[in-house]
Amino acid sequence: MGTVVTLVGQVGAAKLADGLYRLRGKDLAAIVNTGDDYEHLGLAFSPDIDTVLYTLAGLASASAGWEPEGETRAVQSMLRSLGGADQPAVGDRSLAAPLLRTEALAGNRRLTEITRDFCRELGIGARVLPMCDERVRTNVVTDEGAITFTEYFNELGCEPPVRGFQYAGIEDARISDEVRDALLAPDLEAVIIGPANPHHAIRPILEVPNMREMLRKRGAPVIAVTPLVGGKALKGSAGKMMRELGKEPSVRAVAGEYLRLIDGFVIDREDEIFAESVRSLGIAVRPTATVMRTVDDRVALAQATLDFAAAIRATRVMEAE
Amino acid sequence: MGTVVTLVGQVGAAKLADGLYRLRGKDLAAIVNTGDDYEHLGLAFSPDIDTVLYTLAGLASASAGWEPEGETRAVQSMLRSLGGADQPAVGDRSLAAPLLRTEALAGNRRLTEITRDFCRELGIGARVLPMCDERVRTNVVTDEGAITFTEYFNELGCEPPVRGFQYAGIEDARISDEVRDALLAPDLEAVIIGPANPHHAIRPILEVPNMREMLRKRGAPVIAVTPLVGGKALKGSAGKMMRELGKEPSVRAVAGEYLRLIDGFVIDREDEIFAESVRSLGIAVRPTATVMRTVDDRVALAQATLDFAAAIRATRVMEAE
């Protein structure tokens, strides 16, 4: 068995990463979106990185996977008493990583190094790699202009219709040595794009200069897993955003976002009727159970996705012969 | 009735400030030690200021007056999981003020302004005034050299014998406009030095250039309240430090620390036998109950101290006539 790379943003993709981690351990590298990172209280919040850390360490809340289980709000309550802002809300346990991260960044350590140290302390054997060490911020373009994703999500409650996205700072982003090593591994077996909003969770990763080329460099199958089931996102705003962007919220439209990048697309059995329309884009399709309620669900979806990648590799070998 | 100024450091002096606040409300100004301020996790901790805020706002823990009642340790527990330092320990509620303070200081606000805003939010009518806005750090001189008070207290558990103190940065400290206004108030009735370690809680305040002169400027009686009862500090390290500095841990020795500054000294009834030896220093003495277990105790000691100041003023008037 070789190594596996997965692209991660949001809770669903973190759960799939956990399934892959349980199957492959240290042979997994997760490249994580940092476009939704933000500053609050002078601290560097990296919500998608922390979601992956909590999930792989087995600390994530079952009902609110972006924060640790048993999260409390004592700091926030006192912040309010002292006149601090209500939003974004901070949880007590969730403050620890931003506190240590901010201190380490001030000491000129790279986000990748800081995240590696967190993994070591938490006993996570997989590599959790920020998409880059430079500061990139996903801005949501609305009718009123561009706003940060934090404003859109926390202050405006995802209300304003989305007209597009900007990935501020992306032109100065560089693929880190650690991401390069993961993508150029001689035994790279598959690249798996996790089930997440393609626009603001996955796209920032793909927009890092040379990332798309690098993802395809070793020729390992690139597989995406749908974030939509029956035309709706299980969690999050993918469906709403797609409609506002003038696209039908369908598995075909999601697959279309990854055109010329992915070889295969994993859809839910519920959407099997759309399989042909995705195949017409030149993309292989594998319907399976994609809803991850339990840890077993995560492992099953991870295994199905890896099996699909293996099948695509086998087809290529047959075609080459 | 006029205005009252009290000098504060540590829990005991904060409790007396609370007694004075309950008697005098907005006519109280507390000048607070910042020599024990420290940085941890990149945050600006001001333990003595926060102790006063929690105490005057009625939020302080009954058993651990330097932190809010019902304090929890969720952040610290996660910090440890992520490889953060064990010491100094941080409480969840106790993190809120340092977080907001650090952010405001980074925005170039003065510590005095930041503290005033906290008072307003907490509904504290008294003025809580840092001794200065500049950075001053009390260092403990040991046989191994000078160390910060934080190291001495948190890392070394007050173990090393104390040979002296340094107040680093004190030469650049300035009396703020707010402290000046409090000390030059035409109706200033008394200056009360709270029951606290004279060396590291009160002395840094007195070492701010011109502070001693300013304290005596309006001629209001200056009264100190003993931190020792029966030769021992109720809490804290005053007794131990005095022995290590080659002084007997007695009310006379504490009074001696304030020679040529105080007019009167409040001692505990238990130490009444030492009254004459203090009087021989030219300092008036008032024995009373100084142990503050309840809020009523705080108010009673505050009242006794104000009565003592009034008696000293009356004596002066008689002597002048």
pLDDT value, residue A247: 86
Alpha-carbon distance A79 to nearest alpha carbon in chain B (angstroms): 5
Which among A59, A68, A79 has CB closest to B96?
A79
What number is the average pLDDT over the span A110-127?
98
Q: Residue A123 corresponds to which tokens in the numbers above?
A: 């006993």
Give the pLDDT confidence of A285-299 residue by residue, as tens digits. 999 999 999 999 999
Residues of A with Cβ-Cβ distance to B94 under 8 angstroms: 78
Interface test with A, best of B71, B81, B101, B118 (most A CBs within 10 A): B81
Contact at CB, A84 and B96, closer than 8 angstroms:
yes
Fold for A3-320, please state it: Rossmann fold (3.40.50)
Kindly report the pTM of this predicted structure: 0.94
Which among B43, B81, B96 has CB closest to A82?
B96
Q: Which residue of A has its CA nearest to B67?
A: A78
pLDDT value, residue B155: 83
pLDDT value, residue A157: 86
Residues of B with Cβ-Cβ distance to A75 under 8 angstroms: 75, 92-93, 95-96, 99
Fold for B3-57+98-136+173-320, please state it: Rossmann fold (3.40.50)
Which among A59, A84, A121 has CB closest to B83?
A121
Residues of B with Cβ-Cβ distance to A97 under 8 angstroms: 78, 82
pLDDT value, residue A248: 84
Give the pLDDT confidence of A227-273 residue by residue, as tens digits. 999 877 766 677 788 888 888 888 999 999 999 999 999 999 999 99
Confidence of residue A200 (pLDDT cuts 50, 70, 90): confident
Mapping DSSP onto H, E and C, the string for chain A reads CCEEEEEECHHHHHHHHHHHHHHHHHHEEEEECCCCCEEECCEEECHHHHHHHHHHCCCECCCCCCCECCCCCHHHHHHHHCCCCCCCCCCHHHHHHHHHHHHHHHCCCCHHHHHHHHHHHHCCCCEEEECCCCCCEEEEEECCEEEEHHHHHHHCCCCCCCCEEEEECHHHCCCCHHHHHHHCCCCEEEEEECCCCHHHHHHHHHHCCCHHHHHHHCCCCEEEECCEECCEECCCCHHHHHHHCCCCCCHHHHHHHCCCCCCEEEEEHHHHHHHHHHHCCCCEEEEECCCCCCHHHHHHHHHHHHHHHHHHHHHHHHHHC
Average pLDDT, 10 consecutive residues per value, chain B (321 residues): 95 98 98 96 97 98 95 97 92 98 98 98 98 96 90 86 94 98 97 94 97 95 95 73 86 94 97 95 97 97 98 89 78
pLDDT value, residue B149: 86
Which among B78, B94, B102 has CB closest to A93?
B78
pLDDT value, residue B242: 85
Contact at CB, B72 and A68, closer than 8 angstroms:
no
Contact at CB, A82 and B122, closer than 8 angstroms:
yes
Residues of A with CB under 8 A from a CB of B: 41-43, 59, 68, 71-72, 74-75, 77-79, 81-84, 92-97, 99-100, 102-103, 106, 117-118, 120-122
pLDDT value, residue B53: 98
What number is the average pLDDT over the span A59-75?
96
- For helices A111-122 and A47-56, give the axis angle rounded to 10 degrees: 20
Contact at CB, B100 and A121, closer than 8 angstroms:
no
Alpha-carbon distance B104 to nearest alpha carbon in chain A (angstroms): 9
Domain ranges of chain A: 3-320
- The values of phi and psi at residue A261, to 5°, are -120, -45
* CB-CB contact of B222 with B261 (8 Å): yes
Which among B72, B79, B92 has CB closest to A99?
B79
What number is the average pLDDT over the span A182-195?
97
pLDDT value, residue B321: 78
Q: Residue B293 corresponds to which tokens in the numbers above?
A: 């277990």
